[in-house]
């Protein structure tokens, strides 16, 4: 309701963040009514139905979208409707849906007629009889799943409809779950109408828990016909750092002297993406303020083995182990792992404190 009475305006997105009223949109103002969009004539553009009370009586107006049509002088042309077949109701709700699955959008309306009697009516669209059945669009092809920390951007290639490249007539529906056809994260079980991703060819999800996920995408045309779902694709979100596997340290000996060698085997655990075997791991003996590196024998990502030989220059005492540098496939670095004292080193040479008979000074 405006200062001049009832009005219905269509605001067109100007592509720069603003809207302008469609200059040739001569739509009736209504109250107690509804409107709906749908391609009722299967020509790959959205048509408009308006139902309600124009201030004096119930009305229903059907407008055909004629954008791009040769000889057309307006954006929408009013289509004649027989009020004895397509009822004019106010206090109404209206929707397009292919009720009988014959490839065209039928019209459903509920409200009250001029006698104030509640009515619900479905009007069958006969477009299919003109050999113009709406066919399902092409299934889109998944392109990439690009993760950043706990976020993921999913992208796919644009599809075609009935063999024609008509991107403005298509929307896309996305599902993401923890199982191959699941909807636990983003449901693809949406109401009749356009897809949940709109006309976009990508969608970003944020703050996902670490784990393995699956996604599929489908195309929906402006007759709301849906393609098959694309084959499920998987991706991994991993924000958890790898760790030294519990109880995996295995030392060949715990007491060492000069020239003696100890071997060490240990394991790594990363729940989601696995430890990168190409990133070097550092394993050290820590005694006092000094550290000494193990020599690596092998590293597979899940297991590491190395050896260390005690030199005469090393101090004696109890020693701990330090492990650092492991990184998983998503770049998460492990925290430095320190053990309590697990080795005993003795590098002090024995000395003669007395002898009988006395030894020569030399």
- Check whether residue 317 and residue 249 sit in a common domain: yes
- Number of structural domains (the chain) is 3
Q: Where residue 161 sits, what CATH number does that domain have?
A: 2.60.40.10
- Check whether residue 209 and residue 268 sit in a common domain: no
CA–CA gap between residue 42 and residue 34 (Å, rounded): 22
Token match 């000494």: residue? 292
> Residue 197 carries which DSSP code?
T
Residue 210 maps to a domain: yes
- Check whether residue 45 and residue 66 sit in a common domain: yes
Residue 131 maps to a domain: no
- Check whether residue 318 and residue 218 sit in a common domain: no
Residue 356 maps to a domain: no
CA–CA gap between residue 184 and residue 84 (Å, rounded): 46
- Stretch 99-123: mean pLDDT: 90
Span of 21-25, 45-49, 326-330, 350-354 with lowest mean pLDDT: 350-354
| For residue 136, pLDDT beyond 60 | yes
Q: Where residue 280 sits, what CATH number does that domain have?
A: 2.60.40.770
pLDDT in tens, 216-273: 999 999 888 999 999 999 999 999 999 999 899 999 999 999 999 999 999 999 999 9
Residue 129 maps to a domain: no
pTM recorded for the entire structure: 0.74
- Check whether residue 27 and residue 54 sit in a common domain: yes
Q: Tell me whether the omega of the peptide bond preceding residue 37 falls within 30 degrees of 0, making it cis.
A: no
Residue 361 maps to a domain: no
- Check whether residue 339 and residue 290 sit in a common domain: yes
Domain end among 94, 123, 152: 123
| For residue 162, pLDDT beyond 80 | no
123 by DSSP, 3-state: which? strand
Domain end among 188, 218, 237: 237
pLDDT in tens, 83-109: 777 889 999 999 998 888 888 889 999
CA–CA gap between residue 206 and residue 174 (Å, rounded): 15
- Check whether residue 146 and residue 223 sit in a common domain: yes
**Residues 33 and 93: beta-carbon distance below 8 Å:** no
- Check whether residue 103 and residue 23 sit in a common domain: yes
Domain holding 216, by residue range, is 141-237
The percent of residues in the chain predicted with pLDDT above 70, rounded, is 95
Domain end among 123, 157, 185: 123
Closest CA to 154 of 216, 219, 229: 216
- Check whether residue 101 and residue 43 sit in a common domain: yes
Residue 331 maps to a domain: yes
The set of residues, in sequence order, having a beta carbon less than 8 Å from that of 217 and lying 6+ positions away, is 140, 142, 154, 156, 172, 173, 174, 175, 197, 229, 230
- Check whether residue 52 and residue 152 sit in a common domain: no
For residues 136-161, b (16+ Cβ closer than 10 Å) or e, as one string?
Answer: bbbbbebeebebeeeebebebeebeb
Residue 19 maps to a domain: yes
The residues facing 257 across adjacent strands are 346
Residue 204 maps to a domain: yes
């Amino acid at each position: 309701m405006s200062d001049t009475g009832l009005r219905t305006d269509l605001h067109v997105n100007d592509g720069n963040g603003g809207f302008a009223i469609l200059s040739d949109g001569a739509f009736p103002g209504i109250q107690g009514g509804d409107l709906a969009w749908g391609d009722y004539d299967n020509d790959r553009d959205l048509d408009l139905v308006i139902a309600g009370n124009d201030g004096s009586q119930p009305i229903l107006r059907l407008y055909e979208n004629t954008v791009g049509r040769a000889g057309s002088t307006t954006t929408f042309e009013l289509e004649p409707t027989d009020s004895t077949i397509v009822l004019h109701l106010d206090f109404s709700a209206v929707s397009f849906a292919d009720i009988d699955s014959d490839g065209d959008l039928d019209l459903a309306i509920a409200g009250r007629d001029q006698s104030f009697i509640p009515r619900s009516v479905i009007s069958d669209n006969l477009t299919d009889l003109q050999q113009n059945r709406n066919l399902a669009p092409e299934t889109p092809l998944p392109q990439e799943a690009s993760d950043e920390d706990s976020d993921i951007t999913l992208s796919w290639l644009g599809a075609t409809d009935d063999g024609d490249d008509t991107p403005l007539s298509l929307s896309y529906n996305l599902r993401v779950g923890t199982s191959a056809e699941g909807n636990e994260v983003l449901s693809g079980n949406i109401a009749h109408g356009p897809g949940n991703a709109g006309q976009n060819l990508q969608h970003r999800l944020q703050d996902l828990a670490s784990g393995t996920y699956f996604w599929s995408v489908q195309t929906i045309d402006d007759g709301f016909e849906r393609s098959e779902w694309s084959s499920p694709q998987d991706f991994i979100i991993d924000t958890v750092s790898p760790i030294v596997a519990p109880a995996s340290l295995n030392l060949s000996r715990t007491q060492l002297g000069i020239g003696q060698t100890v071997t060490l085997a240990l394991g790594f655990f990363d729940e989601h993406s696995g430890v990168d075997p190409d990133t070097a791991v550092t394993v050290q003996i820590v005694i006092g303020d000094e550290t000494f590196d193990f020599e690596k024998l092998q590293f597979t990502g899940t297991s590491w083995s190395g050896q260390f030989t005690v030199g005469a220059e090393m101090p004696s005492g109890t020693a701990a182990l330090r492990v650092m540098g492991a990184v998983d496939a998503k770049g998460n670095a492990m925290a430095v792992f320190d053990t309590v004292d697990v080795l005993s080193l003795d590098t002090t040479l024995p000395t003669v404190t007395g002898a009988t008979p006395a030894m020569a000074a030399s």
